[in-house]
């Protein structure tokens, strides 16, 4: 149902009638926020856009799904962030229709997206396309989303910290994959829960994230309880096993 693109923080979802390229936590304009915090950094917006357009072309996808936090500001996008979003959506919608599942950073994303007829925005409860349910993960999804055989979510920016034999360490973005557990969805009909859940890495490599092998202090209200038998995979497909034991 959902297969990561090897080496990339993106996946292809087989939704039945169409194939969708899925990216999470794009965070356009993130550099603006970093500068406010005193980090001198130029915009990487052009590089992000070109990378995404390349993935669209290489995958032959029929649709692009932004799995929340396409923007970085909480309110209406302005300035550099708005310009990045407008340029991005203008380029993407020349190729495919776009679905945006709103994240916690997308409070007034419609101020930008409403000018694009090919962009559909759904609220934080998510949407279902065929056999795949999509939600950002910062709030509770609709029951229909969790009832899909494959549930695709984000928000955590999952990462692991890996140490070598001499004490050096590095950080890697990871996919989390496992079974949907009723423990995380106690208010939902247990007979209608889906089979598999995938937690997507952040597309934006500057966005930081949750070190899933060091803490169970997840951001999502249904994680980690809603994911059982969870395993971590590097972007290149390397299986790390139980994410808690990495």
Kindly report which listed range (35-44, 101-110, 220-229) carries the lowest average pLDDT score: 35-44
pLDDT digits (tens, 9 = 90+) for 39-54: 888 889 999 999 999 9
pTM for the complete prediction?
0.94
Residue 90 has pLDDT above 90, yes or no: yes
pLDDT at 230: 96
For each of the domains in the chain, give its residue range(s) and CATH number, in order of start: 2-245 (3.60.21)
Nearest-CA neighbor of 150 among 204, 203, 196, 85? 196
pLDDT digits (tens, 9 = 90+) for 207-216: 889 999 998 8
pLDDT digits (tens, 9 = 90+) for 138-171: 999 999 999 999 999 999 999 999 987 777 888 9
- Mean pLDDT throughout 2-22? 95
pLDDT at 233: 97
Residue 190 has pLDDT above 80, yes or no: yes
- Mean pLDDT throughout 183-212? 95
């Amino acid at each position: 149902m959902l297969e990561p693109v090897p080496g990339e923080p993106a996946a292809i979802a087989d939704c039945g009638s169409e194939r969708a390229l899925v990216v999470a936590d794009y965070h356009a304009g993130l550099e603006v926020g970093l500068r406010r915090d005193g980090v001198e950094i130029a915009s990487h917006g052009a590089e992000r856009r070109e990378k995404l357009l390349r993935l669209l072309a290489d995958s032959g996808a029929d649709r692009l799904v932004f799995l929340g936090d396409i923007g970085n500001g909480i309110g209406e996008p302005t300035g550099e962030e708005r310009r990045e979003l407008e340029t991005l959506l203008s380029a993407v919608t020349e190729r495919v229709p776009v679905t945006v599942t709103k994240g916690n950073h997308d409070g007034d994303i419609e101020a930008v997206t409403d000018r694009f007829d090919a962009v559909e925005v759904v609220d934080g409860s998510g949407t279902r396309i065929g056999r795949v349910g999509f939600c950002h993960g910062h709030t509770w999804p609709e029951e229909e989303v969790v009832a899909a055989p494959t549930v695709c979510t984000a928000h955590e920016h999952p990462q692991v910290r890996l140490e070598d034999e001499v004490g050096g360490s590095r950080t890697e973005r990871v996919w989390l994959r496992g079974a949907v557990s009723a423990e995380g969805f106690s208010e939902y009909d247990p007979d209608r829960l889906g089979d598999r859940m995938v937690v997507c890495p952040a597309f934006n490599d500057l966005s930081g994230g949750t070190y899933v092998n060091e803490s169970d202090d997840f951001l999502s209200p249904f994680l980690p309880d809603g994911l059982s038998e969870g395993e971590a995979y590097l972007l290149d497909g390397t299986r790390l096993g139980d994410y808690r034991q990495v």
